[in-house]
Amino acid sequence: MPPLFRTLVFLATLSAATLAHASTLADFDFSGNVSEAHFKEIISELRCLVCQNESLAASQAELAQDLREEVYTMMDAGKTDDEIVEFLVARYGDFVLYDPPLKPSTWLLWFGPFVLAALALFVMGFAVRKRTRGQDGDLTSAQREKVAALLGDETKNRES
């Protein structure tokens, strides 16, 4: 199937599921075992599969409501956060996690920025050191004057 068509068919499929019915968080009862804040925290870090890029907390899709109920039931039964996450990952894969897991295939993601920072610091230190030993300026005074004239700069000596 050509990719465009594939995408269109996909959208058609998914929209049907999205429009079917909408529901809210208001239906949950937080007077029991389940803390509202903790519940919201968990579902806001889980991604809705049907939607474009929305969390389970924000999504209006029916599947999202089903999964919210599932999470609620598990929390009510005293399952730990890890168990809940494991349950979802076993069924839908790492895709459901907004917070990607740390494993060899995500090392680039988690450590990349710090490696880059270390590298940048090193290069920067090197560049600065070179400059602290260099000659003062690459412009001769004649060139400076020309630049000043070019810019119509009457305040060239004012360095702030």
Partner 1 sequence: MKRPLMLIPAIVFAVMAVLLAVGLNLNPREVPSPLVGKPVPEFELARLKDPQATLGSADLSGRVSLLNVWATWCVSCRAEHKLLMALAKTGEVDIYGLNYKDERDAAMRWLQVYGDPYVANAFDGDGRVGIDWGVYGTPETFVIDSQGVIRHKVIGPLSAEIVKERILPLVRQLNSRS
Partner 2 sequence: MTPELGQFALILALCLAVIQSTLPLIGTYTGERHWMSLGSTAAWGQFTFLSIGLCCLIYAFLDNDFSVAYVASNSNTLLPTMYKISAVWGAHEGSLLLWVFMQGAWGVAVAAFSGKLPETVRARVLSVMGMVGVGFLLFMLLTSNPFERLYPAPLEGRDLNPLLQDPGLAIHPPMLYMGYVGFSVAFSFALAALLGGKLDAAWARWSRPWTTVAWVCLTIGITLGSWWAYNELGWGGWWFWDPVENASFIPWLVGTALVHSLAVTEKRGAFKSWTVLLAITAFSMSLLGTFLVRSGVLTSVHAFATDPGRGIFILTFLCIVIGGSLIIYAWRAPTVTGGGRFDFVSRETLLLANNVLLVIVAALILLGTLFPLIYDAFELGKISVGFPWFNKMFISFMPLLILVMGIGPNTRWKRQDPAELARRLRLAFIVSVTLGVVFALPLLPGASPLAGLGIGLAAWLVTTLTTSVVDRLRHKRGLAAIWRDVTVQGRSYYGMVLAHLGMASAVVGVTLVSLHGVEKDVRMSPGESLEMAGYTFVLEGVEKHQGPNYRADRGKVRILRDDEEIALLMPEKRTYTVQTKPMTEAAIDIRPTRDLYVSLGEPVGGGDWSVRVYYKPFVRWIWFGGILMALGGLLAVSDRRYRLSVRSRRTIDATVTPAAQEASG
Q: What distance in Å separates the CA atoms of residue 71 and residue 94, rounded to the nearest whole number? A: 16
Cβ(16)–Cβ(61) under 8 Å? no
Which of partner 1, partner 2, none has residue 89 at its interface (CB below 5 to 8 Å by kind)? partner 1
* CB-based contacts of 87, cutoff 8 Å, min separation 6: 70, 74, 79
Does position 14 interact with partner 1 (CB under 8 A)? The reply is yes
Does position 153 interact with partner 2 (CB under 8 A)? The reply is yes
> Beta partners for 160?
none
3-state SS class at 2: coil
Does position 82 interact with partner 2 (CB under 8 A)? The reply is no
Does position 26 interact with partner 1 (CB under 8 A)? The reply is no
14 versus 70: smaller Cβ distance to partner 2: 14
Does position 142 interact with partner 2 (CB under 8 A)? The reply is no
78 versus 128: smaller Cβ distance to partner 2: 128
